[in-house]
Amino acid sequence: MSGTGDGRDNGIEAVFSVGYNFVFSSWLIGAQMDASWNRNKDVVTRMLGTNTNTGSQVVNSNVIVPGSHSTLATGVIDFSLQKNWTVSELARIGYFVTPKTLVYGGLGWSVSGFDLINNFGFVTSTSGCAAGAGAYGGAAGAPCTCTLTGLGWTAAGEQDFGGWRGFLQFKSINYRAKDVTILGQNNGVSSRTGIDTFVPITVTTVQGMTDVRHVSASTLELNAGITIPLGVAFNRWRP
């Protein structure tokens, strides 16, 4: 009833931040909000694995001999998880190694938007969440969009260059797992009545499908950038 698979993906992203610092002697505390997006949609983790499919069928009839049978099959799983954007709120604390050099760490919460894509698209459902991109002949459809939240932390160094600062930051986010549940579009009761080959016929169908996807993710980032203090900037622009 289970299987494994693996893959990897790296990409490039742009990060913009705003924040506020308080300096106490050699220490700094502050709050920062990061926003990033995967501009080129190139951070797409493909998850390959196997699946197990079990089925059973029972036929009851007042005319033919009742019977039953079961099936067991294995197959391949092929999903992609594409990260689109992230917003993080971080509290940070730093220490001035020199008056112009700061090392700091941060801790906070992040929320990210993902597209979950079923590359097989074997299930028809009420939304695009289960419809794949048709890579293997499946029905084309929109990916399943969901958000994941998680704890994030950073470790970084920042250097003042006289009016602007440069920094190198390592950031990790461990997203909490989330269940994405899809219900089949034909769930419910349907009935058909008519004449078929001169015989009155009534067909009643009860159908139910539930597709639960347990999704989790984590990211590691290494960012390099520049910081512009707003006080300095405003003062410089002041006539």
Min separation Cβ 147 and another protein, Å: 14
Query: Total number of residues binding another protein (CB under 8 A)?
Result: 106
Q: Which of 233, 186, 180 is nearest to 211 (CA)?
A: 180
Question: Three-state SS for 100?
Answer: coil
Q: How far separated are the first and last CA of the chain, in Å rounded?
A: 71
Query: Rule CB under 8 A: is residue 116 a binding residue for another protein?
Result: yes
Report how far apart, in Å, the C-alpha atoms of 113 and of each of 3, 40, 87, 175, 200 are: 27, 15, 9, 11, 53
Single-letter amino acid, residue 236: R
Among 64, 84, 95, 126, binds another protein (CB under 8 A): 64
User: 118, 132 in Cβ contact below 8 A?
Assistant: yes
Query: What count of residues does the chain have?
Result: 239
Among 13, 87, 146, 157, binds another protein (CB under 8 A): 13
Among 40, 41, 59, 140, binds another protein (CB under 8 A): 59
Min separation Cβ 212 and another protein, Å: 5
Min separation Cβ 107 and another protein, Å: 18
Min separation Cβ 153 and another protein, Å: 15
Query: Rule CB under 8 A: is residue 19 a binding residue for another protein?
Result: yes
Q: What are phi and psi of 212, to 5 degrees?
A: -110, 125
Q: From CA 171, how far away is CA 87, in angstroms rounded?
A: 13
Binding mask 212-231 for another protein (x = CB under 8 A): xxxxxxxxxxxxxxxxxxxx
67-106 residues in contact with another protein (CB under 8 A) are 77, 79, 81, 83, 96, 99-100, 102
Query: Rule CB under 8 A: is residue 25 a binding residue for another protein?
Result: no
Query: Rule CB under 8 A: is residue 133 a binding residue for another protein?
Result: no
Q: From CA 218, how far away is CA 152, in angstroms rounded?
A: 10
Min separation Cβ 134 and another protein, Å: 18
145-204 residues in contact with another protein (CB under 8 A) are 160, 162-163, 165, 167, 169, 171, 177, 184, 196-204
Q: From CA 89, how far away is CA 212, in angstroms rounded?
A: 30
Query: Rule CB under 8 A: is residue 7 a binding residue for another protein?
Result: yes
